[in-house]
Amino acid sequence: MSQEINCFEIVQNLIDDCVEKLGLDRTVAEILREPQRVLSVSIPVQMDDGSIKVFKGFRSQHNNACGPCKGGIRFHPDVSMDEVKALSTWMSLKCAVVNLPYGGGKGGVIVNHKELSPNELEQLCRGYIRAIAPVLGADMDVPAPDVGTNGQTMGWMMDEFARYRGYNEFGVITGKPIIVGGSLGRVEATSRGCVFTIRQAAKATGLELKDATVVVQGFGNVGSIAARLLSREDGCKVLAVSDSTGAAYDPNGLDIAALEKFKLETGSVVGFPGSKNITTEELLQLECDILVPAALENQITGENADKINAKIVAEGANGPTTPEADNILAKRNILVLPDVLANAGGVTVSYFEWVQNQYGYYWTEEEVNERLERKMVEAFDSVYSLYKEHGDINMRGAAYMVAIKRIYEAMKIRGWLGNKA
Ligand SMILES: NC(=O)C1=CN([C@@H]2O[C@H](COP(=O)(O)OP(=O)(O)OC[C@H]3O[C@@H](n4cnc5c(N)ncnc54)[C@H](O)[C@@H]3O)[C@@H](O)[C@H]2O)C=CC1
Ligand SMILES: O=C(O)CCC(=O)C(=O)O
C-alpha cells in the first residue's frame, strides 16, 4: 500500500460523509470509523533449513451488528494493520450492500508467500490460525481467501481449526476445496459477480457487450476469471492484462484460455506469444469500454485518473480508486462500479458455502450461480436507483448509503446507539 495514501483514512472519511448525507447521528460514524477488535499476532515458523522465522499477522473484526464477521486473509509483503482495518471496514459495507447476515472482518500476514516452500507455507497457515483461533468460529468470525491465499491454504487453515476445536467445524472458513465442504462456484464467484454487475451497468448505459473492449489489471484469481468469463460468455475482446511482473497487450484481443495456461506454466503474463509488452501504467491508459482493476489498492489516483480511457471501471479489487480519482472519473462521466458492489460475488458465494456447511446439504453449480445472479442484480439495482435518484453522488456514495443505512438499523435495534441516534 502506498505510504502517502492511507486507505483506512479514506474509508473513514467516506463513512463520515455518508453518515452526514443520511442525516444520522454522528455516533454512527464514531462507531463505524473503528473496528470493534483488532488482533495483532506473531507467528514463529520453522523454516526448511531449521531456522525459526517470525511472521507478523493481524485479524480485524470491524462490526458484527448484522452477523458474524466475514472476510478474507491476505498474504502479501505490504500488509499492514491499517490496510487490514480498511479491508475489514469494506467487508462490513460490502456484506450490507448485498444484504448478507454478516459483519466485516479481514486478516493478513506480512509475507511474500512466493518465497516459501509448500511446507513453510503450510506451517505459516497453521500458525496463523492457531494464533487467531480464540476469536474465530462459524458464528463469530469466518475467514476466506484473498490476495496470496487460495483453496489449499483454506484447507490447511480449516484443518488446523478442527484440531483446535477437536471436531470439524467446516463453516469456520469458506473458499475451501469442494471435498472438505467447499461450494461449487466459489472459485469463480468474485469474477462472476463482477460480470453480473458489468452486465447490469451495460444494460443501464446502453453498452453492447458483444465485441466490447476490456482491459484487466491483475491476472490473479479475480482478474483472470473475469477476463475468461467476459470473453467466453459475453463475447468481449480482452485487449490487455497485467500482473505484478508486467503486461501483455494485443489490439486484436488476447486468447484468454491460452494466456491462463501460459501464466500457469511460466508464472507471468509477460512474453505471451503474439502479444506486445507494455508497462502496467500504459495498460491503465488504454482506450477500452471496460477497465477491471483486479490487483491492489490505490491504482487509479489523482495522478492518472485523467488518462483513464474507459466507459466503465468495474472494481474487482478492493480500494483500487482513490477519492481524488473518483472525482476526476465522475467529471469525465466514467461510471465506476465500486468494490463493495462489484466484487461482492465472492463473499456472497462464501455465504452460500457457509449455509451449505450448516445445512450439510450441497447445491449444484447452477443453483449457486442463479442465486448469485439474483443477489448481484438486486444489489446493483438498489445502488443504481439511489445513484440516479440523488444526482449529486457517485455509485460509491450510493453503495455506502445502502450499506450504512442497513448497518445503522441493525445497531439501532440492538440498542447500540442508545435512544438519541
Ligand atoms: N479472492 C477473492 O475472492 C476476492 C478478492 N478481492 C480482491 O481482488 C483483488 C485481487 O485478489 P485475488 O485475485 O484474490 O488475488 P491474487 O493473489 O489471486 O491475484 C492478484 C494479482 O494481482 C497482480 N498484481 C499485484 N500487483 C500488481 C500491479 N501493481 N499491477 C498489476 N498486477 C498486479 C498479481 O501478480 C496477481 O496476479 C484484491 O484487491 C482482493 O482483495 C475482492 C473480493 C473477493
Ligand atoms: O469470501 C469472503 O468471505 C470474503 C472475500 C473477501 O475477502 C473480499 O470480498 O474482499
Sequence-distant (≥ 6) Cβ neighbours of residue 245 within 8 angstroms: 267, 268, 269, 270
Q: What are 217's three cell numbers?
A: 489489471
Q: Which of 327, 350, 386, 399 is nearest to 90 (CA)?
A: 399
Of all atoms in ligand 1, which is nearest to the CA of residue 296?
A: 39
Confidence check: pLDDT of 4 > 90: no
pLDDT reported for residue 32: 98
Tell whether 388 is in a known binding site.
no
CATH class of 36-173: alpha beta
**Domain residue ranges in the chain:** 36-173, 187-337
Please state the length of the chain: 421
pLDDT reported for residue 5: 86
Q: What angle do CA 345, 347, 349 make, to 5 degrees?
A: 70
What letter would DSSP give residue 80? Answer: -
pLDDT digits (tens, 9 = 90+) for 120-137: 999 999 999 999 999 999
Phi, psi torsion values for 184, nearest 5 degrees:
-60, 140
pLDDT digits (tens, 9 = 90+) for 306-352: 999 999 999 999 999 999 999 999 999 999 999 999 999 999 999 99
How does strand 290-293 pair with strand 141-145?
unpaired
Distance 146 CA to ligand 1 centre (A): 7
Residue of 21, 53, 85, 106 with catalytic role: 106
Confidence check: pLDDT of 218 > 80: yes
pLDDT digits (tens, 9 = 90+) for 24-62: 999 999 999 999 999 999 999 999 999 999 999 999 999
Judge whether 56 counts as a catalytic residue.
no
Sequence-distant (≥ 6) Cβ neighbours of residue 71 within 8 angstroms: 87, 88, 91, 104, 105, 106, 107, 143, 144, 146, 347
pLDDT reported for residue 146: 97
pLDDT, mean of residues 184-206: 98
Of all atoms in ligand 1, which is nearest to the CA of residue 74?
A: 41
Percentage of the residues of the chain whose pLDDT score is greater than 90: 97
Confidence check: pLDDT of 3 > 60: no
pLDDT digits (tens, 9 = 90+) for 362-374: 999 999 999 999 9
Decide: 289 in ligand 2 pocket, CB within 6 A. no
Instruction: Note whether 36-173 and 187-337 share their fold.
Output: yes
pLDDT reported for residue 419: 80
Q: Which of 148, 117, 130 is nearest to 53 (CA)?
A: 117
Instruction: Assess: ipTM above 0.90.
Output: yes
- Give residue 420's pLDDT band: very low, low, confident or very high (50, 70, 90): low
More confident residue, 418 or 36: 36
Tell whether 176 is in a known binding site.
no
Q: Which of 5, 21, 28 is nearest to 82 (CA)?
A: 5
Distance 331 CA to ligand 2 centre (A): 30
Tell me which residue has cell 494485443. 250
pLDDT reported for residue 421: 67
Distance 222 CA to ligand 1 centre (A): 6
- Give residue 2's pLDDT band: very low, low, confident or very high (50, 70, 90): very low
Tell me which residue has cell 487467531. 132
Domain topology for 187-337: Rossmann fold (3.40.50)
